[in-house]
Structure 1
Amino acid sequence: MDGFNDFLGAINDVLWHDTVLFAILGTGILFTFWTTFSQWRALTHGWAVIRGRYDDPNDPGAINHFQALSAALSATVGLGNIGGVALAIALGGPGAVFWMWVVGFFGMSIKLTEVTLSMLYRNTDDPDDPHGGPMWVIKKGMRRFGPNLGTLGTVIGGIFCVTLLISATTGGNMFQAWNVGQITETYFGIPSVACGIILAVVVGSVILGGIKRIGAVAGRLVPFMCALYLLAGSYVLIVNAQELPGLLVLIVQSAFAPTEAAGAFIGGTAAYAFLIGMKRALFSNEAGQGSAPIAHSAVKTREPVREGIVAGLEPFIDTLVVCTFTALVILSTGIWNRPAEVNYVQPPNVMQAGESAWTLETIEVPALPRGAGEWNAGQNVFMIVTAHENRNAANNLHRIEGRVVDDGERFVIQWGSLRGPVEPTLHDPGIYFSYVGATLTAKAFDSVQEGLGMWLVTMAAWLFAISTMISWAYYGEQGIVYLFGKRGVMPYKLIYCALIIVATLGFIQTDTELDNLTGVGTGVMLIANLPIMLLLGYQAMRAYHNYIDRLKKGEVGPGHPAPSIEDVISGRDVR
């Protein structure tokens, strides 16, 4: 697995080069000014649209605006909001949160643009199963530049679909399943693979019903799970209210200056906070990936821009609201830079594990303090060592990961290795529990109210994961339809469900491995979709300004009062 993880890390270094990050940020700034800050339209007109005042059952499409937004949000509001934010803070420090906010704000205009483009080029020949997304945009859009370019557009669309399938199976599927298995096994002792089997059955039963069933499930599941999570988060923030002003200052300061090492956090540079914050925010809200337009293309409407404005709400809800709650919970409880769970009286010796590789001696673990629980086989832990320069941390600190095993007589830790030219020395004698992803968030809730993280975050993780996986299954399905036609859909769904189980078999152990896996999926889609947006984005901007002009003149006003909330949620208002 070390070789495979190194391979993924090398790919991530290319996909997430500084040039790519600045290109994404620049694209968001470009469309923000081009639309004269469409974020305002999303927060005003967008809410009126999803309330159902513009829904018309005679318009082409399959689901209403609220259900389309819910289907897209069910893919974005997922474990990226629970586990992804925890990952960002654990690796990049508080400054990563600031860059998540930046991506969330400018991502609103990116979402509007990419969804508007997909709506302009969507295919509604079959109103119950419309097709849309960047692959159809580039295929049809290139023909406008000349008949001979149609083939090139088809090829580029195919490349995008390949990246779509990579992202659907990694970040949209395996990341979710792994987090659910990890947190459930940590708290309840249920084997991770058993969780994978249950998830595969539940997800499979939903995705077999197509976009209408996905929209119906998402329309009820997303509001419930968001409200539940935000209520619990509000409780934690009220308890720690005195910490919040200082934390907001820390977030901004850490975005532009190094964050010093403290406890379990080994330090982070401002540049690394920028990188991790951008990656995690883009993974969470999917701005620029081209995934959300696939769900929005199923909406019932004759106004492409109207759905684009609705889509602008996604990064706001996902990143600026839900992710912020998670970040403040983690930071205010101090779980991110917690002290060691226990200290060795006689620390293990550093040993050579090969050429330029170092590990720690395998010795018996010390007894845990009263109230800290008991050692269990399979627990992931780490110690902090001083070695060669760590450019991401702006110091010489590194983590050596280990796993608790029962040798039949006692519990010991089998340590991994650290590669480097300098023999490491222990920074301190402490053993830290490795809380990866959603488990770190759960521990933050637990630190305020015992059992809150155990029950709330575990339940939220299951709900968020299921909602994300069913939507990403649909995204991948549309890629299969483009590449192979409908004959490839059923084999794809079976493979998709099988990968849920594969992800829970235990080959992912650390937050770095998790970041590498999801980073590849997100990165390849961004690389494929950004050129499409920049090449054809002017068409979305032209349509946007035309729609806003007509909206100001009252030419596209609502044709009826808002229907009941139940009718909007169920989709009865467009039947």
Structure 2
Amino acid sequence: MIINTFRSIISDINSFLWNEYWIIVIALTGLIFTIWSGFSQYKIIRHAPKILRGDHNNQDDSGIINHFQALTTALSGTVGLGNISGVALAITLGGPGAIFWMWIIAIFGMSIKLIEVTLSMLYRNIDNPDNPHGGPMWVADIGFKKLFPRYSKLGKIIAIMFSVSIITSSVTGGNMFQAWSVADVTYEYFGVEGWISGLLMSVIVAAVILGGIKRIAKVTAMIVPIMVTLYMLAGIYVLGVKFNEIPEMFRLIVLSAFTTSEASGAFIGGSVGTAFMYGTKRAIFSNEAGQGSSPIVHAAVKTNEPAREGIIAGIEPLIDTIVVCTFTALIILSTGIWDRNEDVQFSAPPIITNEGEIWSFSDTTHRDKSGKEGDPVIMHIIANYNEITGQYIHKVPGQIVSNNNSLEIKWEDFRSSETPKIHGEGYYFDYVGATLTAKAFDSVSAGLGKWLITIASWFFAISTIMAWGYYGEQGLIYLLGENSVFTYRIIYCSLIFIATLGLIETSIDLDNLSGIGLGIIVYANLPICWIFGYRAINAYKDYIKSERIQ
């Protein structure tokens, strides 16, 4: 009962935070900054490699980490389960067209990253040059004091709002989303109970984040390049096997972005609106453009040229979404795991009964050897119009339970004004997030997904949790000072364990939990970008002119 109440609450909050109007505002923000900066994406791609090579390094500048360490730490918060799990969620809930909107948001996101990181560098707190603090909270606080002193209290209020938001987002999307995804895929393949994975992750993360940003940067600088390389190599192998499917997958992605996606197998269909909604949301969650999170770590870089670090941050959406997310999407789509046929055939269809508009389904005997107690499953029914997908098919969740040494499925009730009918001749295992991606790899080479995705999920999730731990920590430092850090780190690591205790079971739960933190932080950060964006644009254009970048 408590868990169901929790799910209902996060679903309502997520629906309130994410609506089509706000998502359009985010996209328009990226479009405006793109045009205003003179289509900065081109110069970002050309100039960022030179900065990463160290051509502009100066050891006398303020800061404690270098450009590469900042980039890998920021990427550790983006290139990870947002790519492995988030892309799978986008396709499961929004269809192939969601990937197209992920691309668009990534391109616009490059300019948003440029703006928010440049602002963070312009207004960072360097009272202690060896321990700088930065991020949107400092932009709002210091920026209002310098530019709008009459409204300095407003700046303080906005700064507090963002600090609370970054802490909330670090706990939900940056921590619990990651921990649950790892526990789920580990349980799916190895039968390891979620709490065991949660406990182990808590200990590993604690050992690193207790050492602060220097230790986090060193660990992520080692982990991220290795794991991205391994993941890409495995992806190249899968796409090599499915090479003939790739052109059709690109066509499907573009076509589905502008037309209704018909139901097919495990996919219950999707509208243009759902593709746009889930694609945009997953892209923002994946590359973090507009969240104001990566500016926090970039503010620790050793440089006195704000726009230079903004350019480095600008390549993050390119790497994260255009490259890695597209790889994952093509793998899922080309293998057909997303719209597969029923995993298990009914021995006998459930008997449907009702009390008013509440419809119940009799228990189903589960005889398939691939299922185990606790596994979530779904069946499809035809009922009243589904406003989300624009069609008439609905998912009914169920769970495999043990009953007198046998397994059966208990289905959840369904509310409808029309009599539902079972759609299809069987049911599906509800492969959520990273597990769906792993199954795609497995369909090409047995065991590949089992080992690759499990190992990658562990490394990516741990590095992401560490990065977001630092983001939330900086928000707390702004609010309460340095003395609050140790307590925060202990609580943060404890929540890794709590997330694996069964609060999340389905893809909807996963989307709701990560969406709450993401929604709150974007609401707090974008107004800061709007108010002070012109300062970042001026700094960027001055830098481009002084460096004679063509």
How would you bin the TM-score normalised by the shorter chain? over 0.9
1:132 & 1:80 partners in 2: Cα distance? 24
Residue 42 (structure 1) aligned to one of 41, 44, 67: 44
2:388 & 2:26 partners in 1: Cα distance? 22
Partner in structure 2 of residue 396 of structure 1: 392
Offset of residue 6 of structure 1:
2.6
Counterpart residue identity of residue 104, structure 2: V
1:214 & 1:293 partners in 2: Cα distance? 16
Counterpart residue identity of residue 300, structure 1: K
Offset of residue 10 of structure 1:
2.2
Offset of residue 488 of structure 1:
1.0
Q: Is the 2:136–2:159 Cα contact (8 Å) retained in structure 1?
A: yes
Partner in structure 2 of residue 383 of structure 1: 379
Local SS of the residue matching 2:208: helix
Q: Does 1:446 align with 2:447?
A: no
1:344 & 1:160 partners in 2: Cα distance? 50
Mapping of 1:246-285 within 5 angstroms? 246-285=248-287
Partner in structure 2 of residue 350 of structure 1: 352
1:348 & 1:51 partners in 2: Cα distance? 63
Offset of residue 64 of structure 1:
0.4
Partner in structure 2 of residue 552 of structure 1: 548
Q: Does 1:336 align with 2:338?
A: yes
Residue 431 (structure 1) aligned to one of 403, 427, 433: 427
Residue 61 (structure 1) aligned to one of 57, 60, 63: 63
Offset of residue 379 of structure 1:
1.3
Partner in structure 1 of residue 93 of structure 2: 91
Partner in structure 2 of residue 362 of structure 1: 363
Identity %: 52
Q: Is the 2:43–2:549 Cα contact (8 Å) retained in structure 1?
A: no
Q: Is the 2:160–2:479 Cα contact (8 Å) retained in structure 1?
A: yes
Q: Is the 1:129–1:211 Cα contact (8 Å) retained in structure 2?
A: no
Deviates more, 1:447-456 or 1:343-352: 343-352
1:374 & 1:154 partners in 2: Cα distance? 55
Q: Is the 1:406–1:412 Cα contact (8 Å) retained in structure 2?
A: yes
1:419 & 1:471 partners in 2: Cα distance? 42
1:357 & 1:486 partners in 2: Cα distance? 53
4+ long deviations beyond 4 Å: none
Local SS of the residue matching 1:428: strand
Q: Is the 2:88–2:329 Cα contact (8 Å) retained in structure 1?
A: yes
Counterpart residue identity of residue 198, structure 2: G
Q: Does 1:183 align with 2:166?
A: no
Offset of residue 350 of structure 1:
1.6
Question: Closer, same or farther in 2 for the Cα pair 1:22/1:58, shift >3 Å?
Answer: same
1:182 & 1:250 partners in 2: Cα distance? 29
Offset of residue 526 of structure 1:
0.6
Residue 295 (structure 1) aligned to one of 259, 281, 297: 297
Cα deviation code 1:490-537 (max 9, x no counterpart):
111111001000000011110001101111110111111111100110
Offset of residue 459 of structure 1:
0.3
Local SS of the residue matching 1:301: coil
1:87 & 1:553 partners in 2: Cα distance? 39
2:472 & 2:197 partners in 1: Cα distance? 22
Cα deviation code 1:191-244 (max 9, x no counterpart):
111000000000001001111111111111111111010010010001000000
2:20 & 2:466 partners in 1: Cα distance? 32
Q: Is the 1:359–1:400 Cα contact (8 Å) retained in structure 2?
A: no
Local SS of the residue matching 1:260: coil
Local SS of the residue matching 1:119: helix
Cα deviation code 1:131-151 (max 9, x no counterpart):
000000001111134433112
Question: Closer, same or farther in 2 for the Cα pair 1:110/1:146, shift >3 Å?
Answer: closer
1:537 & 1:415 partners in 2: Cα distance? 51
Offset of residue 3 of structure 1:
3.1
Partner in structure 2 of residue 420 of structure 1: 416
Residue 472 (structure 1) aligned to one of 459, 468, 479: 468
Residue 54 (structure 2) aligned to one of 52, 66, 70: 52
Residue 220 (structure 1) aligned to one of 203, 216, 222: 222
Partner in structure 2 of residue 508 of structure 1: 504
1:239 & 1:506 partners in 2: Cα distance? 37
1:492 & 1:356 partners in 2: Cα distance? 47
Offset of residue 553 of structure 1:
7.8
Offset of residue 394 of structure 1:
1.5
Cα deviation code 1:429-466 (max 9, x no counterpart):
21111100000000000000000000000000001001
1:54 & 1:184 partners in 2: Cα distance? 44
Mapping of 1:146-161 within 5 angstroms? 146-161=148-163
Offset of residue 358 of structure 1:
2.2
Q: Does 1:482 align with 2:478?
A: yes
Offset of residue 167 of structure 1:
0.5
Offset of residue 9 of structure 1:
2.1
Q: Is the 1:383–1:399 Cα contact (8 Å) retained in structure 2?
A: yes
Partner in structure 2 of residue 27 of structure 1: 29
Local SS of the residue matching 2:409: strand
Q: Is the 2:239–2:331 Cα contact (8 Å) retained in structure 1?
A: yes
Counterpart residue identity of residue 200, structure 2: I
Local SS of the residue matching 1:358: strand
Offset of residue 355 of structure 1:
5.3
Partner in structure 1 of residue 495 of structure 2: 499
Q: Is the 1:388–1:421 Cα contact (8 Å) retained in structure 2?
A: yes
Please list every run of 5 or more consecutive structure 2 residues that lacks an aligned counterpart in the other structure: none
Partner in structure 2 of residue 561 of structure 1: none
Partner in structure 2 of residue 196 of structure 1: 198
Offset of residue 175 of structure 1:
0.3
2:526 & 2:279 partners in 1: Cα distance? 19
Question: Number of residue pairs matched?
Answer: 548
Offset of residue 385 of structure 1:
0.3
Deviates more, 1:432-441 or 1:374-383: 374-383
Offset of residue 420 of structure 1:
2.5
Q: Is the 2:347–2:365 Cα contact (8 Å) retained in structure 1?
A: no
Offset of residue 124 of structure 1:
1.8
Local SS of the residue matching 2:504: coil
1:494 & 1:358 partners in 2: Cα distance? 45
Q: Does 1:4 align with 2:14?
A: no
Offset of residue 414 of structure 1:
1.2
Partner in structure 2 of residue 112 of structure 1: 114
Task: Please tell me the root mean square deviation across aligned C-alpha atoms, in Å.
Answer: 1.2
1:189 & 1:553 partners in 2: Cα distance? 54
Offset of residue 127 of structure 1:
2.6
2:416 & 2:531 partners in 1: Cα distance? 44
Q: Is the 2:47–2:549 Cα contact (8 Å) retained in structure 1?
A: no
Please list every run of 5 or more consecutive structure 1 residues that lacks an aligned counterpart in the other structure: 555-575
